[in-house]
Amino acid sequence: MARQPDGPPPPPTVQRLRLRYTKRGPLRFASHRDLARALERALRRAQVPMAFSAGFSPHPKISYMGAAPTGAASEAEYVEIGLAERRDPEAVRVALDASLPPGIDVLECVEASAGGGALADRLDSTRWRIDLAGVEVDELDAAVRALLAAETVVVAKRTKNGPRDIDARAAVVSAAASGEAGRAILHVVVRQVTPTVRPDDVLAALAAVADLHPPLPPRAVREAQGRLDDTGEVADPLGPDREAGSRCQGEPQPV
């Protein structure tokens, strides 16, 4: 039998909180592991009463999901944390936000509704905005049309196990071009598939169908993450929890 630590088991999770946070400015260069480390330390500094797993090296109960790639900024990263004591979600948001470095900003914190299902199941698509400095809007527009017109666009994706051919087109739900301050901007909604189709892969697809090669490194921002609704838009994944919360509790508790 495996050895067990002495003493009582850790207290159970009594409340699950779901957070939306950002990756802005220079912190877009943080990897998902960097973010996890920063978040765990911030939870300690903010003295959030985390629930822990049992065993010899207890971990705080944190579920990470669908992190934006290193180098991509985000306005919509999500994480779920388990607490051993109940806390007001807004107070946790404020305390945690103050403990995180500027650029990792906690925008929302809601309590997970009972029976509302897993948060991960509500995150099946991303809306990206990709700034392409040095690219003409017309050029991008033509490339986007070519991409949407294609049935499949196979690109080589770098994975842990070496390059792998994937169909980037299949994951693209919608795409459009616009212009702003002399640069072209690509708006694209991508469905969450395995392996993940990332902004790099979409750009590789544009290069494949229209020979589009931005002269400067593109800058991607994840603007929203959620489930695709009937109109092809990305729905707010915390919406169901927020609704359930206001039904059960009325107005949020004061801090």
Partner 1 sequence: MTVESLYPRLEPLLAQVQKPIQYVGGELNAQTKPWDAVRVHWALMYPDAYEVGLPNQGLMILYEVLNERADALAERTYAVWPDLAGLMREHGVGQFTLENHRPVRDFDFLGVSFATELGYTNLLDALDLAGVPLHAVDRDETHPVVVAGGHAAFNPEPVADFVDCAVLGDGEQVVGDMTDVHSAWTAEGRPGGRTELLARLSRVEGVYVPQFYAVSYAADGTIASFTPNRDDVPTRVAKRTVMDLDEWPYPKQPLVPLAESVHERMSVEIFRGCTRGCRFCQAGMITRPVRERTITGIGSMVDAGLRATGYEEVGLLSLSSADHSEIGQVAKELADRYEGTNTGLSLPSTRVDAFNVTLANELSRNGRRSGLTFAPEGGSERIRRVINKTVSKEDLVRTVTTAYANGWRQVKLYFMCGLPTETDEDVLEIAELAVEVIRAGREAAGSKDIRCTVSIGGFVPKPHTPFQWAAQASAETIDHRLRVLRDAINADRRIGRSIGLRYHDGKPGVIEGLLSRGDRRVGRVIERVWRDGGHFDGWSEHFSYDRWATAAAEELAPFGVDLAWYTTRERGEHEQLPWDHLESGLDKEWLWDDWQEALNEDEVADCRWTPCYDCGVCPTMGTEIQIGPTGRSLIPLAVVGAGRPQDPAVGGGPQVDVAVDAAVADPVHTH
List contacts with partner 1 (CB under 8 A): 5, 7, 10-11, 26-27, 29-31, 33-35, 37-38, 40-52, 56-58, 70-71, 84-85, 87-88, 91-92, 94-96, 99, 101-103, 216-217, 255
Length of the chain in residues, anyone? 255
Classify 154 in phi/psi space as left (phi over 0), alpha (psi -120 to 50) or beta: beta
Tell me the closest approach of the beta carbon of residue 206 to partner 1, in angstroms. Answer: 17
CB atoms within 10 A of CB 108: 17
CA distance 10 to 82: 12
Contact 131, 218 (CB under 8 A): yes
Tell me the closest approach of the beta carbon of residue 89 to partner 1, in angstroms. Answer: 9
Whose Cβ is closer to partner 1: residue 8's or residue 115's? 8
Q: Is 212 helix (H, G, I), strand (E, B) or coil?
A: coil
Whose Cβ is closer to partner 1: residue 212's or residue 234's? 212
Tell me the closest approach of the beta carbon of residue 45 to partner 1, in angstroms. Answer: 4
CA distance 166 to 152: 9
Whose Cβ is closer to partner 1: residue 49's or residue 179's? 49
Tell me the closest approach of the beta carbon of residue 163 to partner 1, in angstroms. Answer: 18
153: Cβ contacts below 8 Å, ≥ 6 apart: 147, 167, 168, 169, 205, 208, 209
State phi, psi for 183 to the nearest 5 degrees.
-135, 155
Whose Cβ is closer to partner 1: residue 36's or residue 142's? 36
Tell me the closest approach of the beta carbon of residue 34 to partner 1, in angstroms. Answer: 5
Tokens, residue 79: 């994480």
Strand ranges, E, within the chain: 15-23, 62-65, 73-83, 106-111, 125-132, 154-159, 162-167, 172-180, 183-191, 219-226
Whose Cβ is closer to partner 1: residue 86's or residue 118's? 86
Write the CA distances from 209 to 155, 156, 173, 188, integer angstroms. 10, 14, 17, 16
Tell me the closest approach of the beta carbon of residue 156 to partner 1, in angstroms. Answer: 18
Whose Cβ is closer to partner 1: residue 53's or residue 152's? 53
Whose Cβ is closer to partner 1: residue 35's or residue 234's? 35
Tell me the closest approach of the beta carbon of residue 191 to partner 1, in angstroms. Answer: 25
Contact 197, 172 (CB under 8 A): yes
